[in-house]
Amino acid sequence: MTSLLQAIGRRGAASPRELPRLRLPSWAVSWIQVGPLALILIVLFALPTVLFLVVSFFDYDRVGIYPAFMLDNYHDLLTTPATWRVYVSSLKFAFIVWAITLFLGFNVAYFLVFHIRTAMVRTVLFLLCAIPFWTSGIIRTIAWIPFLGRNGAFNQILMDLGITSKPLEFLLFSDFAVIVTYVHLFTLLMIGPIANSLAKIDPALMEAARDSGASRWQTMVNVVIPLSKTGIALGSILVFTQVMGDYFVVRQMSGGQSASIVSMLSTEIQAMQYPPASANAMVLVVFVAIMVACMMRVVDVRKELVN
């Protein structure tokens, strides 16, 4: 009895946090919180990726696929000139689109973050940039067809202004149309991360640079750009991987003149040629992974994001 009273007394004296409650170590709490997300990514992303790595070594014929370990699928893929052509053409698109979206995205983000003084106007302008993103990418792609076509709105405007006397033909179903569509679809992916980085810059730093006699350009190169490189890297990764993974825009807008890696791959999938399709997929995944890893070397994205 006395010992019980003593126990109660002791308990009362202790701080409320030490009540007999189940206390998990903090890492275990984190695991429980992160667990469901991790499980889904492992089962639905990591395992299927391992699966098509395995299938890429399989044998196949017109009837089915057979477990094997052969490198023929890779050999066939890498010795076909068409593969190299498609990779070169996709890389070309990716590079051009990256340069344009970086220029546009950085300047738009800079304008929104540093030149717009009221938060409300900034939010409205940012939403104006984001709203087209809510419309299906497929519809936004074909929206360019009546705009760029021979009798399209753009040609009409040019002729009404007297800039050209007859409609420009190269606008639609060309590399030009593909690039315009990509830029239209993906610039927001650049604006978002860069604006996020820019918003974290303490304006006092820029004033300090100016007070120390830096010109506008020097402040930009030595202060703003280094401090926004996380956003630039993230935006670049998003734009690059979207272009490399695209198979709708090129097919629709190039008028059959160009192919993309994934459209080549989807033709094989439709023909049920899973092993070569898997090999093709594996090469693309490794390629994209290397490029992304290079971009992530520039900046420790994880440290910047998670803190």
* Residues numbered 31-60 forming contacts with other proteins, rule: CB under 8 A: 31-34, 36-38, 40-49, 51-52, 55
Residue 287 CA to residue 300 CA, distance in Å, equals 20
Q: Least separation, in Å, of the C-beta of 280 and other proteins?
A: 9
Is residue 196 close enough to count as binding other proteins by CB under 8 A?
Answer: yes
Residue 168 CA to residue 155 CA, distance in Å, equals 7
Q: Least separation, in Å, of the C-beta of 155 and other proteins?
A: 10
From the DSSP assignment, how many helices (H) and strands (E) are in the chain?
Answer: 18, 2
Provide the CB-side half-sphere exposure for 294 (13 A, CA).
Answer: 8
Footprint on residues 155-174 left by other proteins (CB under 8 A): 156
Is residue 14 close enough to count as binding other proteins by CB under 8 A?
Answer: no
Q: Least separation, in Å, of the C-beta of 302 and other proteins?
A: 5
Binding residue for other proteins, selected from 13, 20, 62, 134, defined by CB under 8 A: 134
The mark string for 209-228 relative to other proteins (x by CB under 8 A, - otherwise) is -x-----x------------
Residue indicated by tokens 């092993």: 275
Binding part of the chain for other proteins, among 69-77, 81-89, 225-233, 261-269 by CB under 8 A, reads: 261-269
Q: Least separation, in Å, of the C-beta of 33 and other proteins?
A: 3
A 10 A CB-CB count for 145 gives 15
Q: Least separation, in Å, of the C-beta of 110 and other proteins?
A: 7
- Cβ neighbours of residue 283 under 8 Å, at least 6 residues apart? 74, 77, 78
Is residue 245 close enough to count as binding other proteins by CB under 8 A?
Answer: yes
Give the total of residues touching other proteins (CB under 8 A): 99
Q: Least separation, in Å, of the C-beta of 260 and other proteins?
A: 10
Nearer to other proteins, 31 or 95 (CB): 31
Nearest Cα neighbor of 194 from 100, 108, 297, 299 is 108
Distances in whole angstroms, Cα of residue 83 to Cα of each of 74, 260, 261, 273:
11, 10, 8, 16
Binding residue for other proteins, selected from 59, 72, 87, 140, defined by CB under 8 A: 140
Distances in whole angstroms, Cα of residue 117 to Cα of each of 93, 120, 148, 220, 245:
36, 9, 36, 19, 38
